[in-house]
């Protein structure tokens, strides 16, 4: 798999509002934070708190969340799945 190129996009999504302002969901939480605060300076405190929360998941290991090949056609359900994937849920 080393020869498969990986593309890291700068943007996840871009939305232009009816007022002409553009919201960009940046992949980089620092860039996202600056953009959000620029769009809504009156909401700076909760926006910065949100971006701190985003940063907490940057190193989150999602491998336990992936289904095994035998179960790949079945969607995970219930708290068992959450406990495997989310450290807060008791894994």
Could you read off the pLDDT of 28-87 as tens digits, one per residue? 999 999 999 999 999 999 999 999 999 988 887 767 666 665 555 555 555 555 555 555
Q: How does pLDDT run across 16-36, given as a tens digit for each residue?
A: 999 999 999 999 999 999 999
Q: Please tell me which residue, 9 or 68, carries the higher pLDDT value.
A: 9
Task: Give the predicted TM-score (pTM) of the model.
Answer: 0.62
pLDDT of residue 91: 42
CA distances, 60 to each of 14, 21, 55, 74, 81 (Å) = 25, 32, 10, 23, 16
């Amino acid at each position: 798999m080393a020869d498969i190129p990986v593309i890291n996009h700068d943007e996840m999504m871009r939305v232009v509002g009816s007022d002409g302002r553009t919201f960009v969901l940046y992949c980089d939480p620092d860039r996202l934070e600056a953009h959000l605060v620029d769009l809504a300076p009156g909401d700076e405190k909760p926006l910065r708190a949100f971006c701190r929360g985003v940063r907490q998941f940057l190193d989150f290991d999602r491998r336990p969340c992936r289904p095994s090949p035998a179960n790949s056609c079945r969607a995970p359900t219930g708290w068992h799945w959450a406990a495997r994937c989310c450290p807060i849920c008791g894994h």
